[in-house]
Structure 1
Amino acid sequence: MSGPARITVIGAGFGALSTVREIRRRDRAAEITLIAPSAELHYLPGIIWIPCGLRTRDQLIVPLDNFLRRMNVRHVMGEVTGLREGGRVVDTTAGEVANDALVIASGGRFIKKLPGIEHAITPCEGIAAAEAIRDRLRAMTGGTIAVGFAGNPNEPSAVRGGPMFEFLFGVDEQLKREGRREHFNLVFFNPSTEPGNRLGPKAVTHLLAEMERRGILTHLGHKMVRFEADRVVTEGGEFPADLILFMPGMTGNAWFDQTELARSPGGLLQADAQCRVKGSQQVYVVGDSGSFPGPDWMPKQAHMADLQAAAAAENLLAGLRGQPPSATFKVELLCIIDAIDHGTLVFRNAQRQIILPSSRLFHWAKRFFEGSYLRKYR
């Protein structure tokens, strides 16, 4: 190849930014272009603290101008609309972008097909959703708060349940602090009888015991039917709800439909163990956009995206040198389920599963990680 390689990265979340760092660490000369609607990182793990006032919008939005300048990255401000020429041309609302190699890290899309889903707030849609939860809680004097999540029936890994446990326990803790808990019922609902089973059997036992200890009611094992303005309806019955927090399963971005990229049964990009999109040349996927080989408990979280980004960067650059890609990524789950001032550590890999009981130490560890992670981009 004559001249520096042209590498395009789609997205501005954890997977995309980690990919940029990993590529630049290995190649100082590559011409990297980042395509995203804005040059901002929204630190979504921190939105669990917005309802209680521990975080604000300004604290969780990091402008990326300095980071992109340091990394010598060109930013195309636009949305992707499709691909051409096997991925070598990306069509965007700001024009076309040509590349020699492409990394797709544009995240997932929530499946909003459940009737009445407009009556629920989907927390991980972003900061505005968490602010809506904060404002609704402030306005309520009592009632029933329903918190739940569901998956993609065709994609076991395309679910994000961890944050919903954090919102559940966080709201419970917040109401206690405010001296209002006795005026509210909290109900956790899930179509599975073992919610959070991707965290491991020990975690499921712990989470259900924690709900019982906190006086949180459960409605488990029944498929969702619909939401109404004041209730949750399942195949196993219904219950009233004055505020519904619900995380649906995930699928691929809408623009994937305008491409010929290989798709998984659940609508994500079908990847191999080297993060390549199957059947494509020099097209890689990182994070929530992809469906990767491995255990069905493989998490959709920033830590996993970081691991995939390192493998994708190494393989992409090897491919540009005419070498076969060989780097793979380890599969592990690492999270702290937080409840405002204390948290539970959950770790899982192929060999073992660890759950460490609730501690203030883990809450502060989560806050320390946030600070250290964001320093890379400030």
Structure 2
Amino acid sequence: MSKKISIIGSGFAALTAARRLRKLDAGADITLIAPRAELIYLPSLIWLPSGKRKPADLVVPLDKFLRQHNIHFRAGEATGMEDGGRTVLTSVGPIANDGLVIACGGRFIKKLPGIEHAILPCEGIAPVERLRERLAALQSGTVALGFAGNPNEPAAMRGGPIFEFLFGLDTQLKREGRRDAIKLAFFNPMPNPGHRLGEQALKRLMAEMQRRDIAVHLGHKLLGFEPGKVKTEGGEFAADIIVFMPGMTGNAWFDNTDLPRSPGGLIKADAHCRVDGREKVYVAGDAGSFPGPDWMPKQAHMADLQAAAAAENLVAELAGNAPTKTFKAELMCIVDSLDAGMLVRRTESSSLALPPLGLMHGVKQRFESWYLRRYR
């Protein structure tokens, strides 16, 4: 009798898990649970303000992928869990499983006073479209961009895209002949933001900001936002447009379960991506808190590595074997600036940060095409 496997989510980790599970078990009964049967390619949000990409370019319908891999789809949202994970409660009813992969992503922390005055780009296409529209209408002033973390979960942050928006906007405004009239500012409560990328990368990022005449406001706790203003313990400064990436925590529905949680609210997992103390329940990507170095990133590449390990271990456990597959802690990204890119790679044994190269911008575009080909 085929095993029933449920996957919660439709992002990078969920789809990688689905592909690997199907490859490892051709007869498994796999169900994907998500609000919509589509993948939003978040890494290319950075190209929306300039028009290099349009919203439709980033939305990939999954009907063909699901059909080709014989994967069922349930259009709904997870709301809870029962029977130690054997039943997922959803907005369209309970879904039973023999094995489960939780890959639904995280949730941004929106407790900062006045956060409604900021644009949160990694929430998806709509806020970045608002940024594009507001930037087009701005004749002069300041665009301030920054990010913060989860004080209880150092790994639960995503700062890389903010650097890309920052450098990309600088390139865009120069192309449009508007850079002299519009200032750019970067803010962060840490004195050394970007240090998780490695010391060499941090130096290159700071040097790039100086070269591009980007003002920096670092090392002061954020107090909140007001219309036209960023407030910190070190003072406040004007900002006509505020772009902010908050830290992440677990999804609200996690509170309706007895899943083990980290101090930052994510699902606690072991080195095999298995949820602590659970059988045949795995987590991958932003939803999980994993053992590893303190710089281990929340990014698509890391989510893919975790999802592949989770799939292999789940198949092993369903066959009566112990999970043994671990994942590599690896930070890999190209910090893009519309016309060039800085390649950054960090592992537990090495660190690399190349200077911005035009070649890397092309590589990032080609990777997008290659990655999405399997789902289009």
Q: TM-score scaled to structure 2, two decimals?
A: 0.99
Measured in 2, the distance between the counterparts of 1:114 and 1:98 equals 38
Q: Does 1:282 align with 2:280?
A: yes
Report the counterpart of residue 8 of structure 2 in structure 1. Answer: 10
Q: Does 1:38 align with 2:29?
A: no
Q: For residue 273 of structure 2, give the secondary structure of its aligned residue in structure 1.
A: coil
Q: For residue 180 of structure 2, give the secondary structure of its aligned residue in structure 1.
A: helix
Q: What is the number of residues matched between the two proteins?
A: 376
Measured in 1, the distance between the counterparts of 2:303 and 2:47 equals 22
The partner residue of 2:309 within 301, 308, 311 is 311
The partner residue of 1:47 within 45, 48, 56 is 45
Report the counterpart of residue 153 of structure 2 in structure 1. Answer: 155
Measured in 2, the distance between the counterparts of 1:207 and 1:259 equals 41
The partner residue of 1:252 within 250, 253, 261 is 250
Letter in 1 for 2:76: G
Letter in 1 for 2:24: R
Measured in 1, the distance between the counterparts of 2:203 and 2:30 equals 46
Q: For residue 81 of structure 2, give the secondary structure of its aligned residue in structure 1.
A: strand
Report the counterpart of residue 131 of structure 2 in structure 1. Answer: 133
Deviations along 1:52-89, whole A, 9 cap, x unmatched?
Answer: 00000111100000000011000000001000111100
Report the counterpart of residue 165 of structure 1 in structure 2. Answer: 163
Report the counterpart of residue 101 of structure 1 in structure 2. Answer: 99
Measured in 1, the distance between the counterparts of 2:300 and 2:116 equals 27
The offset of 1:360, in angstroms, is 1.1
Letter in 1 for 2:247: G
Q: For residue 333 of structure 2, give the secondary structure of its aligned residue in structure 1.
A: strand
Measured in 2, the distance between the counterparts of 1:204 and 1:234 equals 22
Report the counterpart of residue 329 of structure 1 in structure 2. Answer: 327
The offset of 1:21, in angstroms, is 0.4
1:68-79 aligned within 5 A: 68-79=66-77
Report the counterpart of residue 116 of structure 1 in structure 2. Answer: 114
Q: For residue 180 of structure 1, give the secondary structure of its aligned residue in structure 2.
A: coil
Letter in 2 for 1:137: L
Identical counterparts, % of pairs: 62
The offset of 1:375, in angstroms, is 0.3
Structure 1 stretches of 4+ moved >3 Å = none
Q: For residue 181 of structure 1, give the secondary structure of its aligned residue in structure 2.
A: coil
The offset of 1:184, in angstroms, is 1.2
Measured in 1, the distance between the counterparts of 2:260 and 2:279 equals 12
The offset of 1:180, in angstroms, is 0.5
Of residues 297-306 and 12-21 in structure 1, the stretch that sits farther from structure 2 once superposed is 297-306
Q: For residue 94 of structure 2, give the secondary structure of its aligned residue in structure 1.
A: strand
Report the counterpart of residue 373 of structure 1 in structure 2. Answer: 371
The partner residue of 1:212 within 198, 210, 218 is 210
The offset of 1:15, in angstroms, is 0.2
Measured in 2, the distance between the counterparts of 1:265 and 1:255 equals 17
Measured in 2, the distance between the counterparts of 1:16 and 1:117 equals 29
Q: For residue 227 of structure 1, give the secondary structure of its aligned residue in structure 2.
A: strand
Q: For residue 169 of structure 1, give the secondary structure of its aligned residue in structure 2.
A: helix
Measured in 2, the distance between the counterparts of 1:161 and 1:106 equals 20
Letter in 2 for 1:149: F
Q: TM-score scaled to structure 1, two decimals?
A: 0.99
The offset of 1:280, in angstroms, is 1.2
Report the counterpart of residue 144 of structure 1 in structure 2. Answer: 142
The offset of 1:279, in angstroms, is 1.3
The offset of 1:97, in angstroms, is 0.4
Measured in 2, the distance between the counterparts of 1:130 and 1:225 equals 24
RMSD between aligned alpha carbons?
Answer: 0.5
Q: For residue 356 of structure 2, give the secondary structure of its aligned residue in structure 1.
A: strand
Measured in 2, the distance between the counterparts of 1:325 and 1:343 equals 38
Deviations along 1:280-338, whole A, 9 cap, x unmatched?
Answer: 11110000000000001001111111111111011101111111101000101100000
The partner residue of 2:182 within 181, 184, 189 is 184
Deviations along 1:181-219, whole A, 9 cap, x unmatched?
Answer: 000111100011111111011111111110000000000
Letter in 2 for 1:96: P
The partner residue of 1:59 within 57, 60, 75 is 57
The offset of 1:106, in angstroms, is 0.1
The offset of 1:144, in angstroms, is 0.8
Report the counterpart of residue 79 of structure 2 in structure 1. Answer: 81
Unaligned runs of 5+ in 2: none
Q: For residue 182 of structure 1, give the secondary structure of its aligned residue in structure 2.
A: coil
Report the counterpart of residue 199 of structure 1 in structure 2. Answer: 197
The partner residue of 2:339 within 338, 341, 356 is 341
Q: For residue 144 of structure 1, give the secondary structure of its aligned residue in structure 2.
A: strand
The partner residue of 2:234 within 233, 236, 247 is 236
Measured in 1, the distance between the counterparts of 2:216 and 2:339 equals 24
Deviations along 1:340-362, whole A, 9 cap, x unmatched?
Answer: 11110000001111011111110
The offset of 1:130, in angstroms, is 1.1
The offset of 1:153, in angstroms, is 0.2
Q: For residue 246 of structure 1, give the secondary structure of its aligned residue in structure 2.
A: strand
The offset of 1:129, in angstroms, is 1.2
Letter in 2 for 1:250: M
Measured in 1, the distance between the counterparts of 2:201 and 2:121 equals 22
Q: For residue 303 of structure 1, give the secondary structure of its aligned residue in structure 2.
A: helix
Letter in 2 for 1:223: K
